[in-house]
Structure 1
Amino acid sequence: MVIKFPLEINRPHLRRNLSISRLARHMILLNYIEISLFLRNYPVYPI
């Protein structure tokens, strides 16, 4: 029961994680652009 229980839960989570990872990629790209623009004002910090 202990081995089958997490495997059954991981199946829907993997499908949800695919949709979340796609949204996360867009958010990371937007954050990277904002951070890159922010670091351009402060050239002391490396990207």
Structure 2
Amino acid sequence: MIPGSLINAAGRKHTSNRYFKRLPLRVHLVSLLYGVFSYCNGLRELSDGF
């Protein structure tokens, strides 16, 4: 639902992919949004949901 060009533009503007090693911005955004929309209270709940 969110265009990739919008995510890439925000990443370039805020240099958010500058120090990433294994988790690029797009994957991080999707995982955080999943946690918010499924009302996860911690990383354990988030990983169980995946």
Q: TM-score range by the shorter chain?
A: 0.3 to 0.5
Greater radius of gyration (CA):
1
User: What's the TM-score once normalised by structure 1's chain length?
Assistant: 0.34
TM-score, with length taken from structure 2: 0.32
Higher relative contact order (CA 8 A, sep 6+): 2
Q: Which has the higher helix share?
A: 1
